[in-house]
Amino acid sequence: MPHSSIHSSNMFMNKIIAKKQLSADVYEITVEAPLIAASRKAGQFLIVRVDAEAGERVPLTIADADPIAGTVTMVVQTVGATTMKLAALPEGSYVADVLGPLGNPTHIENFGFVVCVGGGIGTAPLFPIVQAMKAVGNHVAAIIGARSKELLVFEDRIRAYADELIIVTDDGSAGRKALVTEPLKELCARTPKPAMSVAIGPPIMMKFCAATAKEAGVPVMVSLNTIMIDGTGMCGCCRVTVGGETKFVCVDGPEFDGAQVDFDNMMRRMRTYKDREDHDRHVCRIRLGTT
């Protein structure tokens, strides 16, 4: 497991090469991490610590990588204190640790016809999967959705690789006014139907995509985004139930057969630290002067 930064001096830390704000609370951050950039595969993720001193470890998916430049790109939504601190760092500053690539890569093969569904910032980690599915010869239909136009991410990147792109928004401000499950159902009803589908986004979206695909008899992979601490199978906080068995997202996943995942249990567990997280986010806003 390559570890791109094992020391607290700047020489070993990960420099922020570029930062772009994609929407009100979503940032695209590119950091130097040459070992990760050279070895990562679609579907893998990182664990990032912003501060070397007592920094919280947050899992972030890899949205893109440039092995020649030695950089990896993450898309970060400021949902908690650590992601707010990360998004507040300017270009040229350093992130204490970027650990990875973690997790199992996506199973990529020429299935023939594949549907890839991304919701919200789930569209960013979907991008390497779209690229990889296309590279091995699949016909790739992508569906990307968000609450509104301003919250759509990676539209141009996905468009450059997908054979078909369907955009949906909750309010109709871009593409169709629909949930992602609507076009998913239509694509699953085609003849021949898709041989594989992939859904990445909020748990509730993945739950309904999995149900839609399952009903149509189409296999569905989902990438789970649980709370994580160590990312190596030791702490147990990323525990989920899949097919009645306990699995750890960090080492057994992050991708699982969506038809087998107990999403209700996963969503209950993800709410465990909500009060503490709300408190820390509030304190962080005060410190950063954004409230």
Angstrom distance (rounded) from CA 230 to CA 62: 17
CB of 135 to ligand FES, least distance (A): 30
- Binding-site size for ligand FES (CB under 6 A) equals 12
Angstrom distance (rounded) from CA 13 to CA 32: 9
238 is a site residue for ligand FES (CB under 6 A): yes
Contact, 87 vs 134, CB < 8 A? no
114 is a site residue for ligand FES (CB under 6 A): no
Q: What is the largest CA-CA distance in the chain?
A: 58
270 is a site residue for ligand FES (CB under 6 A): no
243 is a site residue for ligand FES (CB under 6 A): no
Q: Which of 127, 248, 256, 263 binds ligand FES (CB under 6 A)?
A: 248
236 is a site residue for ligand FES (CB under 6 A): yes
CB of 73 to ligand FES, least distance (A): 22
228 is a site residue for ligand FES (CB under 6 A): yes
Cα–Cα distance list, 141 to 91, 163, 201 (Å): 35, 6, 17
Read off φ and ψ for residue 127, nearest 5 degrees.
Answer: -55, -50
99 is a site residue for ligand FES (CB under 6 A): no
DSSP 110-130: --SEEEEEEEGGGHHHHHHHH
Binding mask 146-185 for ligand FES (x = CB under 6 A): ----------------------------------------
Q: What element of type H or E holds 220?
A: strand 220-223
CB of 273 to ligand FES, least distance (A): 13
For residue 112, the one-letter residue type is G
242 is a site residue for ligand FES (CB under 6 A): no
Q: Which of 229, 259, 267, 288 binds ligand FES (CB under 6 A)?
A: 229
Q: Which of 56, 182, 230, 257 binds ligand FES (CB under 6 A)?
A: 230
250 is a site residue for ligand FES (CB under 6 A): yes
Q: Which is nearer to ligand FES, 218 or 238 (by Cβ)?
A: 238
CB of 161 to ligand FES, least distance (A): 31
Cβ count within 10 A of residue 12: 14
Angstrom distance (rounded) from CA 253 to CA 247: 8
In this structure, what token pair is assigned to residue 178?
Answer: 């629909």
Q: How far is CA 75 from the centre of its chain?
A: 8
Q: Which of 112, 137, 233, 243 binds ligand FES (CB under 6 A)?
A: 233
**Pairing relation of β-strands 45-49 and 97-102?**
antiparallel
Residues that bind ligand FES (CB under 6 A): 228-231, 233-238, 248, 250
